[in-house]
Structure 1
Amino acid sequence: MKLLLNSKLPIRCFSDYYLLSGQTLMGLFRRFAGLLFIVLLQMGCERKSIEFETFDSSLWAAEGACKEYRMSVIEAMEEQFDQFLGMNETELIQYLGNPDETHLYTRGQKFFTYRLTCADSTSNTKILRIRFSALDQINEVLVLD
């Protein structure tokens, strides 16, 4: 089957139609590349949800350090701290609640501190310290004695 346009030339394939209608293959490629870029950008913007097996974020935020819940789950979470890397401040606050302390550092860096044990206890106080880069992304998670 042959199609005819205004030019009376037979069209044999898809590329002949675009060449005759004034669009080049390069223009078609640019549209495809632009669409592909938008799709990949959208996929890259989606955040994976982090999940720890023995963790309940509502208990973590509500009970604080003196109820011993934080200390009981932190040991199971330590091996999976890499799930926090790349999160921003808002996402972390939604997951762990507001920090017990916030420290501002040079070059726009910030530290969030969550107490794992009571501050008034006679034993060593353990804390979870999370460092944010100047781009507001977590780049370090530590448990300190």
Structure 2
Amino acid sequence: MNKYLLSFILIALAACNSKQINIPGFDENLWQQDTNGCQKIRAEMTDSLEQHRDLLKGLSQDEMISLLGKPDKNELYKRNQKFFIYEIIDPEHCTAASKQHIYLSIRFNATGMAKEVQIYKE
């Protein structure tokens, strides 16, 4: 009997710890397939991410990778802060992309939680 109770508790805890993020107008599979934003799929989802970026705040690094895939760039900063950079449009790698460079920057604090989400245009 104790085996069944322990199994139930472990399953319940695992279910509680996983966050399911649903961002309207955002398809995580299409995002992850659009490497460097060359297909402009990421660019089409930019408005949705901008409107709902508060849903990304508080996610762990692993949860962010699960949602957005492996970042295109990682940057380490002082006080154990880390940045994930996702290319929305990278004109250096895409032949048909616009001349404007657009990327998503996510800052994680020392505990690994997302504290800042910004979309930059250069």
Q: Same fold (TM over 0.5)?
A: yes
TM-score, structure 2 as length reference: 0.77
Secondary structure of 2:23 counterpart: coil
Q: What is the Cα-based RMSD across aligned positions, in Å?
A: 1.6
How many aligned positions are there?
102
Aligned-partner Cα distance in 2 for 1:126–1:108: 25
**Per-residue deviation at 1:122?**
5.7
Please list every run of 5 or more consecutive structure 1 residues that lacks an aligned counterpart in the other structure.
Answer: 1-41
Q: 2:20: which partner in 1?
A: 49
Aligned-partner Cα distance in 1 for 2:98–2:62: 34
Equivalent of 2:33 in 32, 43, 62: 62
Structure number with greater CO (CA < 8 Å, separation at least 6) is 2
Paired-residue identity, %: 32
Is the counterpart of residue 107 in structure 1 residue 46 in structure 2?
no
What residue identity is the alignment partner of 1:62? Answer: Q
Secondary structure of 2:89 counterpart: coil
Spell out structure 1 runs of 4+ moving beyond 6 A.
Answer: none
Aligned-partner Cα distance in 2 for 1:122–1:92: 27
Aligned-partner Cα distance in 2 for 1:75–1:104: 27
- Determine which structure has more spread, i.e. the larger CA radius of gyration: 1
Please list every run of 5 or more consecutive structure 2 residues that lacks an aligned counterpart in the other structure.
Answer: 1-12
Is the counterpart of residue 80 in structure 1 residue 80 in structure 2?
no
Is the counterpart of residue 126 in structure 1 residue 102 in structure 2?
yes
**Per-residue deviation at 1:69?**
0.4
Secondary structure of 1:73 counterpart: helix
Aligned-partner Cα distance in 2 for 1:122–1:106: 33
